[in-house]
Copies of this chain bind each other. A is one copy, B any other.
Amino acid sequence: MSQMEVRLKVPDYIVDLIERRGQVGQSDTERMALAIALAAENIKHGGGPFGSGIFDMDSGELIAPGVNLVVPESCSLYHGEITAIIFAQQAVGHFDLAAVGNFELVTSAEPCVQCYGAIPWSGVRRVVYGATCEDVEAIGFDEGPKPANWIEALNSRNIEVIGPVLQDDAVAVLQDYRAGGHPIYNSES
């Protein structure tokens, strides 16, 4: 077996977009507008129609963005929420964001079963989502076998869940993606 190494970086087009937009406001709608803009930009570059950001709830700072890179990076893990968590934990140098501060995850669509499962270990204290599962499944994606009581399950671990926020704008990006004939990449299993 040869040595295996995987590299994951924030795409240049995402860094550029964030720099162009400048400081992000403190409200849920302003932060969601960024997550949705990341999703829209990601589509233009071959990624999936999902964007996220992890913010420091105290300073208001964007710690890390995330976009769906499943197809471009050949990895089913790389949903927008997951790439944001990976980059944010690297930025703070800790596997548990809750150990170093108060952080929230803002994501353009409701987490699927995988992202739901990753949230308790990430250390985020708050999740804000845009489009709902139904919106995501309406364009053909599969959200998976997530428990019906997922919000209560996160709440019981001291993680607040807010949404939908800017749902119409988030849905518009999903529908543009479908209209563009981009890949709906569910597993064939």
Contact = CB atoms under 8 A, between A and B. Distances in A.
22 contacts: A1-B19, A1-B62, A3-B9, A4-B9, A4-B10, A6-B90, A74-B89, A74-B94, A96-B185, A98-B188, A112-B117, A113-B116, A113-B117, A113-B120, A114-B118, A114-B120, A117-B118, A120-B145, A120-B187, A120-B189, A123-B187, A124-B189
Please list the 5 inter-chain residue pairs (A to B) with the smallest Cβ-Cβ separation, ordered nearest first.
A117-B117, A145-B153, A98-B189, A5-B9, A114-B117
Given A95-B185, A157-B189, A76 B8 contact: no
Given A1-B19, A75-B95, A117-B144, 17 more contacts: A1-B15, A1-B65, A3-B10, A5-B7, A5-B8, A6-B8, A76-B85, A76-B95, A77-B77, A98-B188, A112-B121, A113-B120, A114-B117, A114-B121, A120-B144, A145-B150, A158-B189
Nearest to A142: B120
A146 B121 CA distance: 13
A180 interface: no
Interface in A44-86: 62, 64-65, 70-71, 73-78, 82, 85-86
Given A95-B71, A114-B118, A6 B4 contact: no
